Amino acid sequence: MSAIYQRVAFVGLGLIASSMAHAIRRAGLAGEITGTARSAETRQVALEIGLVDAVFDTAAEAVVGADLVVLCVPVGAMAGIAQEIAPYLEPGVTVTDVGSVKQAVIAAVGPHLPEHVHFIPGHPLAGTEHSGPRAGFAELFDNRWCILTPLDGGDAPALERLVSFWQGIGAHVDLMDPPHHDLVLAVTSHTPHLIAYTMVGVADDLRRVTDSEVIKYSAAGFRDFTRIAASDPTMWRDVFLTNKEATLEVLGRFTEELFALQRAIRTGDGVLLHDYFSRTRAIRRGIIEAGQDTAAPDFGRAKR
Amino acid sequence: MSAIYQRVAFVGLGLIASSMAHAIRRAGLAGEITGTARSAETRQVALEIGLVDAVFDTAAEAVVGADLVVLCVPVGAMAGIAQEIAPYLEPGVTVTDVGSVKQAVIAAVGPHLPEHVHFIPGHPLAGTEHSGPRAGFAELFDNRWCILTPLDGGDAPALERLVSFWQGIGAHVDLMDPPHHDLVLAVTSHTPHLIAYTMVGVADDLRRVTDSEVIKYSAAGFRDFTRIAASDPTMWRDVFLTNKEATLEVLGRFTEELFALQRAIRTGDGVLLHDYFSRTRAIRRGIIEAGQDTAAPDFGRAKR
């Protein structure tokens, strides 16, 4: 594949940026990759392991000459970065991001960018529990979804180019309007994460069960929660603070349903429980059929 | 390894029994394996694929001549089975089970068994989302925990023999008193399952997000919940009905903590959220160090 952008600049060099960099090199999608990160150590590692061709101390320097800028910082840091880089952006550059929330990013970034910039917010749905420039790998986005939420009146060729870029990285691309994105993610990601964090916190608090017991017997179901709950705390704090409305709506529904099941346990309503538990199997089958997971019988196995 | 039991009889031939049968053959732990199941189809499959050397239409017939009887039926079915087999149990036979709850099984099974039987309740902490006689595989218990909850005044050599048997199957064995087992499992397994079922139910209910969206974007966190929530509905109904007290206690703690986090989101308390999310990482590290999972960066990947 020939290069889609001449110079890609990453602001932030964590798991997502480093995985993108590996995937860009794998497919030859960029002439050159530059980057910056807040921490000097991260910048040095990124250069050492060859993630970037050049590293800069500031975001302003990193974006000079770039025709694609990818904002890979926590949602709460986006506004400051947008303000800093705005005067240094080339005419016709595409600016995108990888934030887990889209309305808040648009509100934070949009007002700072000059008119000659194509701002196309994005969100690749992929991740691991690991962070930092060494955590990246080229396959992270293979066959995963990347959702772009283009703004009204945006440039069609610029969008087409970014779509090809993400496809070259290995992802499937979907377009969505920003409020719907935030609701869909509140259901499929944000609320599940909050619940997982809560359950792990409860296990840690319950004095009569020791930490070592929780750890030893985690394979019985709890372990999948700890994997989710090990994600980056700063990123997740920002997600909940900036996708407040949708998360609180889904949480409200969740507690209503949980109370109904809790009541069924208390009153011994086995029919309600059995019906509820049967219904959820259909969704699981749908996920396997959609190729988003395998049916291999290795749940709970170390070989994963 | 030489045979530890001459004849092992399984009552119920689902995922756990079939995996045990494979592991028993792998290590040569039994002279002979017999079994029974409620469904004629299951009995036929078990015979066809060589899980058992002989299959019987009733539990009463299956246990005749056995020196180990393993009850692998849902907790709610244990009392009926115990009553049925009691007159056919040989003197000195060990009766064990694989139920996820221990106090309720002891209450259901214990009163029916004659004095010349060694009743040693057990619970192997392993499973997949699949059910039935074809779902079993020999490695299911390798390096997983099996908790035995021996009764006061039980026979020490019989216990030692059963411990060796589970070790031969590949598991680590722990001994615990029954009420503590039920609390530990309420934390590490039962409550997480209920929460996962609830979250999947909410996703299915929320009209403004379509099923196909939930399925497509499940890799963002939700998918791990669906895997948990795909487990056998009958088994889980019985778990919640029979471990009511401990589950409700842990659920109470869970909703308290969830409300505190919900309030922090509503009021924008980023410090509380960040502190909470940081604390849960330590538990995750403990699980990896304990060898109950790997740190491989493939969370959310199809290759698992």
Condensed to tens digits (0 to 9), the pLDDT of residues B77-89 reads: 999 999 999 999 9
Residues B270 and B48: their CA atoms lie apart, in Å, by: 60
Please state the rounded mean pLDDT for residues A205-233: 81
- Max CA distance (Å), chain A: 67
* Model confidence pLDDT, tens digit, residues B8-33: 999 999 999 999 999 999 999 999 99
Our CA-based measurement puts residue B216 at a distance from the nearest CA of chain A, in whole angstroms, of 7
Torsion over CA: B206, B212, B215, B218 (sign): negative
- Spatial CA neighbour of B100 closest among B149, B35, B134, B58: B149
Residues A66 and A13: their CA atoms lie apart, in Å, by: 16
By C-alpha distance, the chain B residue nearest A176 is B213
| Phi and psi angles of residue B128, each rounded to the nearest 5 degrees, phi first | -135, 180
Residues A109 and B40: their CA atoms lie apart, in Å, by: 65
Residues A153 and A132: their CA atoms lie apart, in Å, by: 36
Q: Which residue has the higher pLDDT, A304 or A195?
A: A195
Give the ipTM: 0.86
Q: Are strands A54-56 and A30-36 parallel, antiparallel or unpaired?
A: parallel
The strand ranges marked E within chain B are 5-11, 30-36, 54-56, 68-71, 94-97, 118-119, 122-124, 145-148, 172-175
Q: Which residue has the higher pLDDT, B43 or A131?
A: B43
**HSE of B299 in the Cβ direction (CA atoms, 13 Å)?**
27
Chain A residues inside the 8 Å CB shell of B99: none
Tell me, what's the pLDDT at B160? Answer: 98
The pLDDT mean for chain B works out to 91
Please state the rounded mean pLDDT for residues B196-212: 84
* Model confidence pLDDT, tens digit, residues A73-117: 999 999 999 999 999 999 999 999 999 999 999 999 999 999 999
| DSSP per residue, A208-264 | TS-HHHHHHTGGGTHHHHHHHTTS-HHHHHHHHHHSHHHHHHHHHHHHHHHHHHHHH
pLDDT at A223 over 60: yes
Best mutation target among A287, A288, A294 (most B Cβ atoms within 10 Å) is A287
Judged by average pLDDT, the poorest of A22-26, A89-93, B203-207, B244-248 is B203-207
| Phi and psi angles of residue B124, each rounded to the nearest 5 degrees, phi first | -75, 130
Torsion over CA: A193, A195, A197, A203 (sign): negative
Burial (Cβ within 10 Å: 0-12, 13-18, ≥19) of residue A280:
buried
Tell me, what's the pLDDT at A292? Answer: 66
Residue tagged 């393993």 (tokens): B70
Tokens of B283: 């538990």
User: In Å, how far are A282, B3, B239, B242 from B190, measured between CA atoms?
Assistant: 21, 35, 7, 11
Tokens of B197: 């079922």
Residue A244: band (very low, low, confident or very high) from pLDDT cuts 50, 70, 90: very high
Identify any residues that bridge with B10 across adjacent strands, giving them in sequence order: B35, B70
Please state the rounded mean pLDDT for residues A244-248: 95
Chain B residues inside the 8 Å CB shell of A217: 125, 145, 147, 184-185, 188-189
- Spatial CA neighbour of A250 closest among B228, B202, B257: B202
Name the DSSP letter for residue B149. -
Please state the rounded mean pLDDT for residues B40-48: 97
Identify any residues that bridge with B33 across adjacent strands, giving them in sequence order: B8
Whole-angstrom Cα Rg for chain B? 21
Cα angle, residue A93 at apex, residues A100 and A153 outer, rounded to 5°: 70
Residue tagged 């910082």 (tokens): A73
Residues B274 and B268: their CA atoms lie apart, in Å, by: 11
pLDDT at A298 over 50: no
Nearest to B298 among A174, A285, A304 (CB): A304
Are A1 and A165 a contacting pair, CB within 8 Å?
no
Are B188 and B123 a contacting pair, CB within 8 Å?
no
Tell me, what's the pLDDT at B120? Answer: 98
pLDDT at A297 over 50: no
pLDDT at A40 over 70: yes
Question: Which ranges of chain A would DSSP assign to H, the alpha helix?
Answer: 15-27, 40-48, 59-63, 78-85, 103-109, 156-169, 178-185, 191-205, 211-216, 222-228, 233-242, 244-267, 270-289
Our CA-based measurement puts residue A64 at a distance from the nearest CA of chain B, in whole angstroms, of 33
Residues A287 and B213: their CA atoms lie apart, in Å, by: 10
Residue A139: band (very low, low, confident or very high) from pLDDT cuts 50, 70, 90: very high
Judged by CB atoms closer than 8 Å, whether chains meet at B226 and A280 is answered as yes
* Model confidence pLDDT, tens digit, residues B142-152: 999 999 999 99
Residue B298: band (very low, low, confident or very high) from pLDDT cuts 50, 70, 90: very low
- Spatial CA neighbour of A247 closest among A177, A175, A176, A189: A189
Report which secondary-structure segment, H or E, holds B108.
helix B103-109
Name the DSSP letter for residue B99. -
- Spatial CA neighbour of A71 closest among A30, A114, A11: A11
* Model confidence pLDDT, tens digit, residues B234-245: 989 999 999 999
Tell me, what's the pLDDT at A294? Answer: 62
Q: Which residue has the higher pLDDT, B217 or A258?
A: A258
Residue tagged 């996703």 (tokens): B203
* Model confidence pLDDT, tens digit, residues B151-162: 999 999 999 999
Chain A residues inside the 8 Å CB shell of B233: 273-274, 277-278, 281
* Model confidence pLDDT, tens digit, residues A147-200: 999 999 999 999 999 999 999 999 999 999 999 999 999 999 999 999 999 998
Tell me, what's the pLDDT at A302? Answer: 34
Best mutation target among A147, A228, A294 (most B Cβ atoms within 10 Å) is A228
Residues B78 and B71: their CA atoms lie apart, in Å, by: 7
Report which secondary-structure segment, H or E, holds B148.
strand B145-148
Nearest to B198 among A125, A211, A257 (CB): A257
Tokens of B56: 């019987």
pLDDT at A288 over 80: no
Nearest to A286 among B139, B215, B281 (CB): B215
| Phi and psi angles of residue B116, each rounded to the nearest 5 degrees, phi first | -80, 15
Task: Give the other-Cβ count within 10 Å of A50's Cβ.
Answer: 11
Identify any residues that bridge with B250 across adjacent strands, giving them in sequence order: none
Instruction: Name B48's Cβ contacts closer than 8 Å, sequence gap at least 6.
Output: none
Domains of chain A plus CATH, in order, are 5-176 (3.40.50.720), 180-289 (1.10.3660.10)
Name the DSSP letter for residue A98. -
Please state the rounded mean pLDDT for residues B197-211: 83
Residues A115 and A95: their CA atoms lie apart, in Å, by: 12
* Model confidence pLDDT, tens digit, residues B53-73: 999 999 999 999 999 999 999
Judged by CB atoms closer than 8 Å, whether chains meet at A225 and B222 is answered as no
